[in-house]
Amino acid sequence: MDTLIQLIISGALLGGVYALAALGLNLIFGVAKVINFAHGEFLMLGMYAGYWLMTLTGINPYYGAPFIAVAFFLLGAVFYLGIMRFTIYRPELTQVFVTLGLSIALQNLALMFWQADYRTIQTMPQGMSSLQLGGMHLPTDRVIAFGFAMVILIAVIIFLRKTFTGRAIEAVSQDLMAAQLMGINPQKIFVLTFGLGIAITGVAGGVLIPSFYAFPSVGTFFVLVAFVVVVLGGLGSVTGTIVGGLGLGIIETLGGYVAPDLKEALPFVLLILLLAIRPHGLLGIKGAEKETLK
């Protein structure tokens, strides 16, 4: 019983981080209806940003998160204005291949600058690396990352529901045409959404680095995880992302305990089954999987 609780709690901790890693993907999909196949590479860049911040300046990525956020917001805006702007009303195929091309380029850019070494950092002093909570040992880094994830997720939900700009984003995601008729400039919203989505992804990478290794091709793993989270929780739904992240974290941890060999395959099998049974996810809008910008 104790093992089960321990497993579920560490699964939930992992899941919170997964949710944060997937939020940017879902936000961009929800608004611009683009599946960003280079999402994992932006996360990889975020991990390196956290790594270099700590190694070069000694700033802990947790404190450095605002810097990473600003830098990645600009990166996301450049990503939209420089590349995605030309594909936004094009067929899905174009978007898939443009983002795949970007993923190849970014992965090899990282390889070029930082080689294929596995890098990680230690943020906690010796003896502080795990928290003790009623007989359970929880890794401190994961707990902090989980806290970060929840704060950011809730902040995004509040931003989307309560602020004027946030509601404009929601409006574009629900109906582009109607939003335009209400005087919303979709180009501005797209820039903002790509910036916001990539900023969140960068911060996610930064808080992931103490508990995961960064290497140039790490994104290929995380992009599939992010797909699973988004599909599990619901396309275009931020609340769904939290549910999907926690769900996947717990399922993966429990599955890894029962069959360690197949742990890696579990998210993918889950993805195929989910897409087949309930393509709009647990909390998604029915039919969202068939939606494109027209």
Among 174, 168, 196, 212, residue whose Cα is nearest residue 51: 212
258 touching other proteins, by CB under 8 A: no
Among 224, 239, 232, residue whose Cα is nearest residue 278: 232
276 touching other proteins, by CB under 8 A: yes
Amino acid symbol at 16: G
Q: Which residues neighbour 204 within 8 Å (Cβ) at sequence distance 6 or greater?
A: 17, 20, 21, 23, 24, 43, 46, 149
- Cβ distance to other proteins smaller for residue 74 or 105: 105
269 touching other proteins, by CB under 8 A: yes
Q: Which of residues 31-70 bind other proteins (CB under 8 A)?
A: 35
CB of 1 to other proteins, least distance (A): 29
Task: Decide: 72 and 198 in contact? Cβ < 8 Å.
Answer: yes
CB of 228 to other proteins, least distance (A): 8
CB of 286 to other proteins, least distance (A): 14
Residue from 5, 70, 111, 177 touching other proteins (CB under 8 A): that is 111
**E strand or H helix at 132, and its extent?**
strand 130-133
Q: Which residues neighbour 156 within 8 Å (Cβ) at sequence distance 6 or greater?
A: 23, 27, 196, 200, 238
Q: Which of residues 216-235 bind other proteins (CB under 8 A)?
A: 216, 220, 224, 227-228, 231
* Angstrom distance (rounded) from CA 93 to CA 105: 18
89 touching other proteins, by CB under 8 A: no
Task: Give the footprint of other proteins on this chain (CB under 8 A).
Answer: 35, 83, 86-87, 90-98, 100-112, 115, 216, 220, 224, 227-228, 231, 261-262, 264-265, 267-269, 271-273, 275-276, 279, 289-290, 292
